[in-house]
Structure 1
């Protein structure tokens, strides 16, 4: 078995660059993930592992072999020293295991739904990885048919998104595209566009979400662009009883999504 003990090893340098540079992730179609939960969710989500590195004082070779089990994705397994592991691991609680995996295409044209009346979350230009992660966790909890990111500010394989989503970036059906592309896609599928907005809105709980529906949310600072509002089937609003007129985007999305799930008897 290959052993890497130098932090100057080309593979280790590549891992560090993959974690930092979106351009390199896109060029190589690879990304880095760490921790048994995230790696297991990636495997269950059909992702292919290229390389798996482990620190034997935390995770033995036998444990690694048992961990990857019978998955068809059989990565190259490499033992690393303590110094190397500490260099490539973001945190100490990643159970001694780091992997390089292949990305998946997130093109809209590859997005397919299992139900005739899908329920979709669309987020326009979310900037904070923490918010994106929270949206993905909500989508996973509600078993949504898809999450679509419009005009993304970063790629979905950013390590901060993977961490903040607790691996839910691998459990959701995800696509990205421009606002124009997504609107055209939704209309071609006869999916109602329900925009969270302050104007021309009805209370969210009065809207019918049992039909094929998209819940569309914008940034907390500026909300949705005019293009969304001009193409909205119905604007919806969460009635606010305090002094402010907005809340965290992931919280607002969760409120609306679970009302839609309630209307669908949580199916």
Structure 2
């Protein structure tokens, strides 16, 4: 088994770039996954690993066998090397170098004849994206589509805040125009969370093919979405403010859709 003990090692320097820079992740088509649960979920999600690195004082060979095959490239690293690559303060001693997926609209497949999709337009905060992915996983949504993404899906903050749900959801990214065309071609109703010309969210029927579309808290949805909406919907506010966190709003809407479908 190969061992690397120096943080000056060329390969370790390359991996550190993957951790820190979106440009390097996109150029190489690879990214880092940290933690046993996250790596396990990526395996279940069909991700391919180039390498698994582990620090033996924190992660045993026996544990490693659960995440690898005889063909997996495995590297034992020193404490200093692991600390250079690890993103979290509380860590488990194992990392994987995984190949990115294309996350194209053309890759989406729906086994459900009435798919339930969550669309988020231009979300910027990795924490919000991660929280949305946790929610859609909990609801077993058919897909998450991110319009005009501002950050790449394999940002360590998204992986961490989603607790690995970036690997359990079916995800695509595309422009707003392409997503609208895709939804219309699939005969999927578009419900836009917006203040303009809206009705209360619980009055609509989400038991048919449905896309719930969320904008940012600061600017809301672009006009293109509002012009192509089946119906704009709103979550009535009863306090002093007129909006809530996008991930919280997404949870309310998607679980209303699930409730309707369970009691149809």
Structure 1 position 61, deviation (Å) = 2.2
Q: Which residue of 1 aligns with 2:36?
A: 36
Q: Secondary structure at the match of 2:262?
A: coil
SS at match of 2:211: strand
The Cα shift of 1:69 comes to 5.3
1:204 paired residue number: 201
Correspondence for 2:151: 154
Matched position secondary structure for 1:190: coil
Whole-Å Cα distance in 2 between the matches of residues 111 and 195 of structure 1?
A: 21
Contact map agreement 2:87 2:156 (CA 8 A) in 1: no
**Which structure 1 residue ranges, 5 or more long, are not aligned?**
none
Matches within 5 A, 1:127-142: 127-142=124-139
Correspondence for 2:169: 172
Q: Is 1:131–1:249's contact at 8 Å kept on the other side of the alignment?
A: yes
RMSD across aligned positions (CA): 1.3
Question: Is 1:122 equivalent to 2:116 in the alignment?
Answer: no
For the pair 1:145 / 2:154, whether they are aligned, the reply is no
Deviation at 1:75, TM superposition (A): 2.4
| Contact 1:36/1:94 (<8 A) preserved | no
Give the aligned partner of residue 68 of structure 1. 67
Match of 2:92 among 84, 90, 95: 95
Q: What corresponds to 2:183 in structure 1?
A: 186
Cα shift readout 1:212-255 (whole Å, capped 9, x = no counterpart): 00000000000000000000000000011111110000000100
Runs of 4+ aligned structure 1 residues displaced above 6 Å come to none
Give the alignment's TM-score, normalised by structure 1. Answer: 0.96
1:201-240 to 2 correspondences below 5 Å: 201-240=198-237
Indicate the residue corresponding to 2:47 in structure 1: 47
- 1:110 to 2:131 alignment: no
Q: Which runs of 5+ in 2 are unaligned?
A: none
Question: Partners of 2:67 and 2:196 in 1: how far apart?
Answer: 51
Superposed counterparts of 1:15-26, under 5 Å = 15-26=15-26
Note the C-alpha offset of 1:266: 7.2
- TM-score, normalised via structure 2 length: 0.97
Q: Deviations over 1:97-138 (max 9, x none)?
A: 011000111011111111111000000000000000000000
CA change 1:11–1:266 in 2 (3 A) is: farther
Shift of 1:24: 1.5
Equivalent pairs counted in the alignment come to 264
Shift of 1:145: 0.2
**Most deviating of 86-95 and 152-161:** 86-95
Q: CA–CA distance in 1 between the matches of 2:107 and 2:80?
A: 41
- CA distance in 1: counterparts of 2:171 and 2:263, whole angstroms: 21
Q: 8 Å contact 1:134–1:164 — kept in the other structure?
A: yes
